[in-house]
């Protein structure tokens, strides 16, 4: 049996956490702003594949085992910190070197080059993989699930089922908010077609990624 009395307080607590800006939010913001709705939604599904994987690890109990292995957490933290640092460098590069050569915005075969937020050409890597990597290399979601979700088990006699329902609520709520981020970023990009605004967006993302990277390394 489930303890349904825990669902409302869990949802309210989850909303506070989900609405707080984090690495996933800034990854979505930058990809959506620079590459549009389709890329933003692909990144969103990558992020939530990571969330679902970590939730399944928590429900199965494997996550608890992994969290006790210091070396595994350390490796994930290092990978996550390095990836955030890489994203910070890419955003900073787009802000510092905007596309002065915007005239050369097509490839040799006439196909358009993907343009970054500041107009600079950027790598057309898979946004799905970028979202997945940013999430899966960050051990914080798994540790958060392990610490937060058990607080709302209540009197449930079927703990795995209770955790599964809580996970579905959390990931479903995150999906809704992240979809808002994607469309808001694209709308801003379309409304404020200004190189100055685009550069500000890249600077904000660069600072956010650098700060997240520094925090990850400070905790190792």
* Binned average pLDDT, 10 residues per bin, the chain of 220 residues: 88 89 88 90 95 90 72 76 81 68 40 40 71 85 83 86 92 95 88 71 81 77
pLDDT at 98: 57
| Secondary structure (H, E, C), the chain | CCCHHHHHHHHHHHHHHHHCCCHHHHHHHHHHHHHCHHHHHHHHHHHHHHHHHHHHHHHHCHHHHHHCCHHHHHHHHHHHHHHHHHHHHHHHHHHHCCCCCHHHCECCCCCECCECCCCCECCCCCHHHHHHHHHHCCCHHHHHHHHHHHHHCCCCCCHHHHHHHHHHHHHHHHHHHHHHHHHHHHHHHHHCCCHHHHHHHHHHHHHHHHHHHHHHHHCC
Residue 109: what pLDDT?
44
Domain count, the chain: 1
Residue 107 falls inside a structural domain: no
Q: Answer for the pair 21, 9: CB distance below 8 angstroms, yes or no.
A: no
What's the pLDDT at 119? 39
Q: Examine residue 108 and state whether it is found in any structural domain, yes or no.
A: no
- The predicted structure's pLDDT at residue 66: 67
Distance CA 23, CA 64 (A): 23
Residue 30 within any structural domain of the chain = yes
* Domain range for 20: 4-99+113-218
What pLDDT does residue 124 have? Answer: 56
In a domain, 42, yes or no: yes
Tell me whether residue 105 is in a domain. no
Q: Is residue 154 part of a domain?
A: yes
104 lies in some domain? no
pTM of the model: 0.75
Give φ, ψ of 123 to 5 degrees: -65, 140
Q: Quick check: is 106 in a domain?
A: no
């Amino acid at each position: 049996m489930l303890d349904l009395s825990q669902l409302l307080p869990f949802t309210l607590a989850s909303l506070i956490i989900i609405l707080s800006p984090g690495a996933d939010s800034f990854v979505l913001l930058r990809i959506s702003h620079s590459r549009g709705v389709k890329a933003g939604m692909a990144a969103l599904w990558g992020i939530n594949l990571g969330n679902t994987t970590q939730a399944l690890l928590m429900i199965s109990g494997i996550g608890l085992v992994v969290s006790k292995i210091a070396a595994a957490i350390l490796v994930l933290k290092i990978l996550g910190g390095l990836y955030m640092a890489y994203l910070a460098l890419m955003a900073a590069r787009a802000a510092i070197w905007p596309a002065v050569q915007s005239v050369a915005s097509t490839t040799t075969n006439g196909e358009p080059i993907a343009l970054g937020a500041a107009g600079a050409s950027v790598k057309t890597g898979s946004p799905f993989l970028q979202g997945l990597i940013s999430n899966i290399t960050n051990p914080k979601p798994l540790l958060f699930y392990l610490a937060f979700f058990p607080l709302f088990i209540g009197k449930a006699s079927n703990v795995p089922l209770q955790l599964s329902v809580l996970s579905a609520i959390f990931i479903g709520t995150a999906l809704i908010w992240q979809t808002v981020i994607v469309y808001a970023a694209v709308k801003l990009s379309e409304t404020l077609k200004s190189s100055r605004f685009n550069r500000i967006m890249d600077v904000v993302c660069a600072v956010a990624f650098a700060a997240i990277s520094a925090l990850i390394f400070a905790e190792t």
